[in-house]
Amino acid sequence: MEKTPLLKMNLCRSLFFNKIDNLPLVIPESGEFILCIKINTAESSNIEPDPSQFLGNLLYSGQKINENPAQEQVELPQGHYLFTQCRTNTALNKEEWLDLAIEQQKDGLWERNKLKDLLYIRFLYEDGAFVTQIYRGIADGD
pTM over cut 0.85: yes
pLDDT of 104 above 80: yes
55 forms beta bridges with 39
Asked whether the beta carbons of 23 and 35 are under 8 A apart, the reply is yes
Residue 62: what pLDDT?
93
Residue 141: what pLDDT?
52
Of 32-41, 60-69, 92-101, 116-125, the range with the lowest mean pLDDT is 60-69
Mean pLDDT, range 47-67, rounded to an integer: 90
Asked whether the beta carbons of 132 and 3 are under 8 A apart, the reply is no
Mean pLDDT of the residues in the chain: 89
